[in-house]
Amino acid sequence: MSYGVKLKVWGDYALFTRPEMKSERVSYDVITPSAARGVLEAVYWKPEIKWIIKKIHVLKPIRFTNIRRNEVSQRTKKPSTSLINKGGTDDSLALYIEDSRQQRASMILRDVSYVIEAYCQLNDPADSNIGKHLDMFKRRAAKGKCFSQPYFGCREFSANFRRLGEDEAIASSENNGEKDLGFMLHDLDYQNNYQPRFFRAVMHNGIIEVPDLFAEEVKT
């Protein structure tokens, strides 16, 4: 059994990084299903449920801009278990920004606005408490509450959100006609060693229909 929700999300900037262009980041044209799922999970998620994305409404024209950001070129090392247990410190775990700072270019989206249509599914078919989860999501979204601030691809690009009522109409998109957006990341297959799966995204009058993660047209 499943129940649908509609969530409007918008923000000044977004960066849904194409995996084939990670050093100099380039964004997909629109939010990916996995990023949309992340937004919903930031508002409400429990281990008993999962969010399935069905449609993405792209309300505003697709616009890109270029920025340069200061980043660090390496990650901090993980402390060993013995070091943690002893409560000790290790100078080799430190990361000095001045020594590893580098500037990278990014092609990002600006002035984005989407409506995410999704439904909530229980992981255990024997569980019948989906109404409880749906009510909690509605209350949290209506009050602007979230477990963590939703974001568009990178945490510095925060997302605003508002739940649309069941009878509330979705605003018309400014994108008309059909546009082939090429292959896009759908999501990761967590049951198969985090294997990425891709689908051909086609936008019809601003609406992208998202197939099931394991549908025939979704490729690895």
Task: Report the CATH number at residue 163.
Answer: 3.30.70.2660
- Look at residue 59 and tell me if it is in a domain: yes
Ordered per-residue pLDDT tens for the chain, 220 residues: 446 899 999 999 999 999 887 678 899 999 999 999 999 999 999 888 899 999 999 999 999 999 998 888 877 777 777 777 777 666 667 778 888 888 889 999 999 999 999 998 888 777 778 888 888 999 999 899 999 999 999 999 999 999 998 888 898 889 999 999 999 999 998 888 889 999 999 999 999 999 999 988 888 8
The pLDDT assigned to 198 comes to 95
Contact by Cβ (8 Å): 54, 118: yes
Spatial neighbors of 74 by CB under 8 A, at least 6 apart, are 95, 100
To which residue do tokens 């569980």 refer? 127
- Look at residue 217 and tell me if it is in a domain: no
**What does the alpha-carbon distance between residue 58 and residue 206 come to, in Å, rounded to a whole number?**
5
- Look at residue 81 and tell me if it is in a domain: no
- Look at residue 9 and tell me if it is in a domain: yes
Spatial neighbors of 195 by CB under 8 A, at least 6 apart, are 188, 189, 220
How many degrees, rounded to 5, is the angle at CA 87 between CA 86 and CA 90?
Answer: 100
- Look at residue 80 and tell me if it is in a domain: no
To which residue do tokens 């649309």 refer? 164
- Look at residue 12 and tell me if it is in a domain: yes
Based on the structure, what is the number of domains in the chain?
Answer: 1
pTM of the full predicted structure? 0.86
Interval 61-117: pLDDT, tens: 999 999 998 888 877 777 777 777 777 666 667 778 888 888 889 999 999 999 999
- Look at residue 123 and tell me if it is in a domain: yes
The pLDDT assigned to 93 comes to 73
The pLDDT assigned to 1 comes to 46
Residue 91: what are its φ and ψ, rounded to 5°?
-65, -20
Write the burial class of residue 26 (CB in 10 Å: 0-12 exposed, 13-18 middle, 19+ buried): middle
DSSP for 127-180, written as a single string: ---HHHHHHHHHHHHHHT--SS--BSSSTTSB-EEEEPPTTPPPPPPS--SEEE
The pLDDT assigned to 30 comes to 96
- Look at residue 96 and tell me if it is in a domain: no
Q: Quote the domain boundaries for residue 10.
A: 4-69+107-209
